[in-house]
Amino acid sequence: MADATSKPIGKPHVAPEKTVLPIILAASFCHMLNDIMQSMISAIYPMLKADFNLDFWQIGMLTLAFQCTASLLQPVIGTITDRKPYPYSLPVGMGSTFIGLILLAWSQSYGMLVIAAGLVGIGSAVFHPEASRVARLAAGGRYGFAQATFQVGGNFGQSIGPLLAAFLIVPNGQGSVAWFSGIALLGIVVLTWIARWYKAHMMANKGRKKALHAHSLPRRAVVIALVVLTILTFSKNSYMASISSYYTFFVIERFGVSVQQSQIMLFVFLGAVALGTVVGGPVGDRFGSKVVIWISILGVLPFTLAMPYANLPMTILLSAITGFLMASSFPAIVVMAQELVPGRVGMIAGIFFGIAFGVGGIAAALLGVLADRHGISTVYTICAFLPALGLLTVFLPGKRALRVA
């Protein structure tokens, strides 16, 4: 593997044809910081529900405010930066997250909670398409590895966030959310260094004609594949929304565990998600994205169908298996979509990250209404069938069809 680990980290390094590992790792680290702050919001839902006397639909609206803000802006930002990149938009976006956390810590009304969640969403909208582009620029052709490494940082952040919330925020109250603003400041510093490399990379390649890795697929096949990838993203993220927003309530109601115990169970699921992402990236580079999607979405169906009826130990085990298998699909989806539409890295990353956030937000709101009317167990019984949409993977092109022309 060619990398840049021997280069000094103090100065931006430009190596457009090599795997620039420090930049990929730095982007992954910032993804971890970003998603720690995101997952922390959903992890404190039980505390906010009690403190503000919220209904489940109001919890769902908080998720909707955060995720729809991110989903609506991400494709726009990705399209704009495809035409003219703005390297320093990365630390600016993290600044929006910083302000959102401060507001969340001191909110005295439900309306302020919604605004705070929206500001954190804006930060994510800026971060994901641009950081995903940086990871691809630094990949040196190892796109599955780079995308998986970038995304596993987010997975680790999602798994760590609930633990930090359980042991720091729940015992100390809403005001302790402000402590997480220090994480945002650290992210601003690291993203500023990444932006320097990004800008130097742009200057070094200014005027150079882009080499687009074209495929020979007809337009109709590309459109069908993109539609299928969108549906698969809907399937995955609707189920993930049911876990991230309501899993703690489900295990508290079904098994009578404490809030802290429920956060630990959520950590087990999200930790398995992180591990699955690490495994899925290299597998996608070796065998193709389609193989990973088959296994990660359709292969998880037996386990999701069993989970609503399992006892406590089996629920923990099934959630870990589900998280592990389902996790690898999203890096594979993003890589395949970028291969289907060469030259539109930011737009594709923005669209699919945006769809992921938007679907998650809408699903969370609808599932909240369903939980209020029919109970939280009904939510998991219905969501268990979502991975069956993985059958549509049969319409995706294989690795050979996506081979560079």
Residue 88, domain member (yes or no):
yes
The total domain count for the chain is 1
**Is residue 226 within 8 Å of 353, Cβ to Cβ?**
no
Two structure tokens written together for 56: 């489940």
| φ and ψ at residue 229, rounded to 5 degrees | -60, -35
Who contacts 351 (Cβ-Cβ below 8 Å, separation ≥6)?
74, 75, 78, 337
d(CA 47, CA 174): 8
Measured CA to CA, the distance from residue 157 to residue 47 in angstroms comes to 20
Q: Is the pTM of this model over 0.95?
A: no
pLDDT digits (tens, 9 = 90+) for 161-216: 777 877 888 788 788 888 888 899 999 999 999 999 999 988 887 766 555 555 66
pLDDT at residue 241, rounded to an integer: 75
* pLDDT at site 5: 41
Residue 37 CA to residue 180 CA, distance in Å, equals 7
**Quick one: pLDDT at residue 222?**
87
Q: What is the dihedral of CA 385, 64, 153, 268, to 10 degrees?
A: -50
**Which residue range is the domain that position 180 belongs to?**
21-204+215-395
* Structural domain includes residue 248: yes
The two three-digit tokens of residue 111, written as one number: 């309306």
Query: What distance in Å separates the CA atoms of residue 336 and residue 391, rounded to the nearest whole number?
Result: 17
pLDDT tens-digit profile of 70-97? Answer: 777 777 887 788 788 888 899 999 999 9
Q: Is residue 115 part of a domain?
A: yes
Distance of CA 205 to CAs 17, 90, 250, Å? 11, 20, 52
Q: What is the pLDDT of residue 2?
A: 42
Whole-number pLDDT of residue 214: 58
The contacts found for 251-254 with CB under 8 angstroms, 24 or more apart, are 251/312, 251/315, 252/46, 253/376, 253/377, 254/315, 254/376, 254/377
Q: How many CB atoms lie within 10 A of CB 79?
A: 16
8 falls within a domain: no
- Which whole-number Å values give the CA distances from 226 to 34, 104, 352, 355, 403, in the listed order? 27, 37, 10, 12, 17
Q: How many CB atoms lie within 10 A of CB 61?
A: 21
Per-residue model confidence (pLDDT) at position 14: 42
CATH number of the domain where residue 313 is located: 1.20.1250.20
* Contact between 399 and 287 (Cβ < 8 Å): yes
Residues of the chain with pLDDT under 70: 1-17, 207-216, 346, 353-358, 360-361, 402-405
Residue with tokens 């996506």: 402
Q: Which pLDDT value is given to residue 320?
A: 92
Cβ-proximal residues to 123 (8 Å cutoff; 6+ apart), any chain: 34, 93, 94, 95, 96, 97, 98, 100, 184
- Identify whether 323 is part of a domain: yes
Grouping H, G, I as helix, E, B as strand and the rest as coil, residue 53 is: coil
Q: Give the three-class secondary structure for 257.
A: coil
Dist CA 149 CA 388 (whole Å): 27
Q: What is the reported pLDDT for 403? A: 59
Find out whether 24 and 135 touch, Cβ atoms under 8 Å. yes
| Residue 378 included in any domain | yes
Task: Tell me, yes or no, whether 2 lies in a domain.
Answer: no
Q: What is the pLDDT of residue 313?
A: 94
